[in-house]
Structure 1
Amino acid sequence: SNAEAGEGFSDILIEPRRNLNMGIVIEIKYAPTFRALDEACAKAMEQIKARGYDERLREDGREDILAYGIAFNKKRCKAVCERL
């Protein structure tokens, strides 16, 4: 579900129980065409950074944070990942 973090809500925040130093932020976008998948992934990553979706994880002491920008177009999808 959408979890409040920073300025607004991320699509998904994951806080693993076994690794208390790790956290994962996932932002999902729709791409109107197959060619727009790259741009939609980039927008998802920009949104994660601009709105500080990693702040809630950092407040909980998590420093190893992965951000995923995922875009879908019909049955196709693309994902990008970056360590924050």
Structure 2
Amino acid sequence: MTPTTLQIPELIRTLRKRLNLSQEKFAARLGVSFQTVNRWEKGRAVPSPMAIKLIELQLRQMGERGADLLEAYFSDGG
């Protein structure tokens, strides 16, 4: 399962804040532009499938700090 279009802004913002990163630094970590992250957070654009995979990877690398977000946004329910 992947996050829905309506969930993406909240997911991106929450993840970025947990990592204590600005939009610029979060963008650099994912290999996208600041404007791209800004558009994701405002709901004006959605991440590509590759960017979604990178976001999921960031959550997995966080361990317990990202476990609830993984469950909420990426769980397949079983």
TM normalised by structure 2 equals 0.31
Q: Larger Cα Rg: Structure 1 or Structure 2?
A: 1
Pick the structure with more strand per residue. 1
Pick the structure with more helix per residue. 2
